[in-house]
Amino acid sequence: MTSDVRVKICGLKTPADVQAVAEAGAAYCGFVFFEKSPRNVDIGTARELAFCAPVGLAKVALVVDADDAMLDKITGEVPLDMLQLHGSESPDRVAQVKQRYGLPVMKAIGVAEAADLPLIDLYAQVADQLLIDAKPPKGAVLPGGNGLRFDWQLVQRKYWTRPWMLAGGLHAGNVAEAIARTGTRQVDVSSGVESAPGVKDADKIRAFVAAVHGAGGQRAVPKLT
């Protein structure tokens, strides 16, 4: 397996989480702004975490159908590198967010069957990146982070016009297979590196990134001081 696959670890809540992610060599860290999630953080906490992140670790804010007022507060106080829209935002809304905030936008798209795939092409016209996740079951409280995976054959060796990231039910024990079967160059994990909902586990983080990068590994982000 090649070692240039980029890792995003989402749902960080403490400076120790950020340090573990940075030291493991992940490329992105994600902060969740969704009150129903066990990974939710307030703006003050996210600001502290963002300032803990070393140069080279991209800081991503995950929001769910956030209005401009909420995004104004987040972007006004938290130094970010990307916005992740994880709700039912329309293509027009994605374009509006890009224009208003001048940040790259990643749009999450839930997949359960082949009929869901055309949405990927639709959002590829407006988003900078795509996160292809397992569609939450009907009635689910969370739009993501449910620890569910979808049929990877649906996206096997697919090539869209924007960079894409595979998510949904990944952990250290299956991520190498997921990469080999789909050809993805980016992976996202949240619940798969936790000891309990919302509680990140540094050992699981290291194991996940090691499983992605193999022995050679991606160049690690400098250790925090």
Q: Is 133 a catalytic residue?
A: yes
Helix (H, G, I), strand (E, B) or coil at 105: strand
Per-residue model confidence as pLDDT tens digits over 65-96:
999 999 999 999 999 999 999 999 999 999 99
Q: Which residues contact 191 (CB under 8 A, 6 or more apart)?
A: 11, 145, 146, 147, 197
Q: How far is the C-alpha of 103 from the C-alpha of 218, rounded, in Å?
A: 25
pLDDT at 166 over 60: yes
Domains identified in the chain and CATH numbers:
6-213 (3.20.20.70)
Q: Taking every pair of C-alpha atoms in the chain, what is the biggest distance, in angstroms?
A: 48
The residue type at 68: D
203 catalytic, yes or no? no
Instruction: Tell me the backbone φ, ψ of residue 210, rounded to 5 degrees.
Output: -65, -40
pLDDT, one tens digit per residue, over 130-153 is 999 988 756 555 554 555 688 888
Catalytically annotated residue among 29, 52, 133, 188: 133
Helices (H) and strands (E) in the chain — how many of each? 7, 10
Q: Which of 10, 17, 52, 188 is catalytic?
A: 10
Percent of the chain topping pLDDT 90: 77
- What is the Cα–Cα distance from 150 to 7, expressed in whole angstroms? 19
Residue 140's pLDDT is 52
The chain-wide mean pLDDT, for the chain, equals 89
Q: Using one digit for the tens of pLDDT, what is the confidence trace for 15-63?
A: 999 999 999 999 999 999 999 999 999 999 999 999 999 999 999 999 9
